[in-house]
C-alpha cells in the first residue's frame, strides 16, 4: 500500500500484481473485495474506495487514508497503560456498526483484528481489508472455508463446521478482550496450540477486568454460535456496557464524544435499525 497525492488530496493506493493474483488462484477474492468496497461506499464505518483500475501488470485500489493508523498501532502506543472504558466502548461500538452493515448485505468479514481496524484523524474507526470476506453468506447459506488470523478465528471454523456471520461476533469478543488486557485470550506460541486452546480451554479473566466487559466477552465467545451474543441478544442490553442503555444514543450522541480525541459525528446513524429482534 502506497501513500499517493492528487492535487491537494491524499489517497492510500493498494496494488496487486496480476501474475501473483492468478498464480495464487486469488482472482475471485480480489473481485469480491472490490465488490464489497463498492457496496460499502458512503458507509461511515467502512474504509472508502474511490477508484479501482488496472494496467498491464497490476490492479489498483485507491482508498481513503487512515492517517492515525490502526487499532494495532494504538494498542502498541497505549500499552501497558489501560484504555479508559469510554475508549473500549467507543471503538467496539463503531466496529459493531461496521459488522452489522456487512451482515445486512450477507457479507461475512472473517478477518476482524486490530490491524484491519483503521483510525482516522477525527478519531473514528472503520473496517478495511476485505481480502478474506465472503459474499452471499447468511444463516441459510453457510460456508466452510478455513481462513482468518489464528488468534481471532472462531470456534466453529476450527471445529470444521459450516458457519455464517456469527464468526465475526466471536472475533469481536477477542478484540474487546485485547482492548481490555493487551493480549488475546487463547494466545499460544504456535497455531496448533491456539487451535487446542480455542477448542478445549476456558478463558482466564484477569481479576481487574470489570464485570460488564467480562459479560460481553463471555457472550461473544460462546462456543455454540446459536447461543452467541450478537445472534440472540441486543448488545446494548449488557448492563452498563453502553451506559445509557441506548446503543444509538451512546455511540453517536454526547456520551461517547467525551473520548478525548474524537470529533462528534453529526446526523449520522448506525446503518442498521437496532431493535430487540435484530441480533
Contacts by 40-45, CB closer than 8 A, 24 or more apart? 40/101, 40/102, 40/105, 43/98, 43/101, 43/271, 44/97, 44/124, 44/126, 44/265, 44/268, 44/271, 45/94, 45/95, 45/97, 45/98, 45/101, 45/125, 45/126, 45/127, 45/270, 45/271
The DSSP element (H or E) to which 215 belongs, if any, is helix 211-220
* Cell numbers describing residue 166: 456469527
**Which residue among 35, 111, 129, 193 is the active-site one?**
111
Cα dihedral 65, 88, 93, 255, rounded to 10, equals: -100
Three-state DSSP at 202 gives coil
d(CA 114, CA 28): 25
9-17 sheet: strands from edge to edge: 2-6, 9-17, 58-63, 49-54
The DSSP element (H or E) to which 63 belongs, if any, is strand 58-63
Three-state DSSP at 14 gives strand
- Give catalytic status of residue 168 as yes or no: no
Active site residues per annotation: 111
Amino acid at each position: 500500500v502506497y501513500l499517493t497525492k492528487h492535487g491537494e488530496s491524499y489517497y492510500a493506493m493498494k496494488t496487486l500484481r496480476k501474475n501473483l493474483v492468478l498464480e495464487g488462484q486469488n482472482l475471485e477474492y480480489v473481485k469480491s473485495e472490490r465488490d464489497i468496497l463498492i457496496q460499502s461506499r458512503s458507509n461511515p464505518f467502512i474504509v472508502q474506495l474511490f477508484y479501482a483500475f488496472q494496467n498491464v501488470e497490476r490492479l489498483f485500489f485507491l482508498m481513503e487514508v487512515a492517517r492515525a493508523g490502526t487499532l494495532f498501532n494504538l494498542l502498541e502506543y497505549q500499552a501497558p497503560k489501560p484504555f479508559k472504558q469510554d475508549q473500549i466502548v467507543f471503538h467496539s461500538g463503531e466496529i459493531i456498526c461496521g459488522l452489522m452493515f456487512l451482515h445486512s448485505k450477507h457479507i461475512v468479514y472473517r478477518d476482524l483484528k486490530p490491524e484491519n481496524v483503521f483510525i482516522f484523524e477525527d478519531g473514528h474507526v472503520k473496517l478495511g481489508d476485505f481480502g478474506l470476506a465472503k459474499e452471499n453468506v447468511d444463516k441459510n447459506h453457510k460456508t466452510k472455508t478455513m481462513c482468518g488470523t489464528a488468534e481471532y478465528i472462531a470456534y466453529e471454523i476450527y471445529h470444521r463446521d459450516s458457519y455464517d456471520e456469527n464468526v465475526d461476533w466471536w472475533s469481536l469478543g477477542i478484540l474487546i478482550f485485547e482492548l481490555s488486557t493487551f493480549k488475546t485470550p487463547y494466545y499460544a506460541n504456535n497455531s496448533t496450540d491456539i487451535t487446542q486452546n480455542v477448542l478445549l480451554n476456558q478463558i482466564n479473566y484477569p481479576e481487574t477486568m470489570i464485570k460488564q466487559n467480562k459479560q460481553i466477552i463471555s457472550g461473544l465467545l460462546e462456543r455454540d454460535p446459536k447461543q452467541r451474543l450478537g445472534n440472540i441478544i441486543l448488545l446494548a442490553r449488557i448492563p452498563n456496557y453502553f451506559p445509557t442503555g441506548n446503543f444509538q444514543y451512546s455511540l453517536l450522541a454526547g456520551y461517547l464524544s467525551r473520548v478525548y480525541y474524537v470529533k462528534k459525528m453529526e446526523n449520522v446513524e448506525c446503518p442498521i435499525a437496532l431493535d430487540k429482534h435484530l441480533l
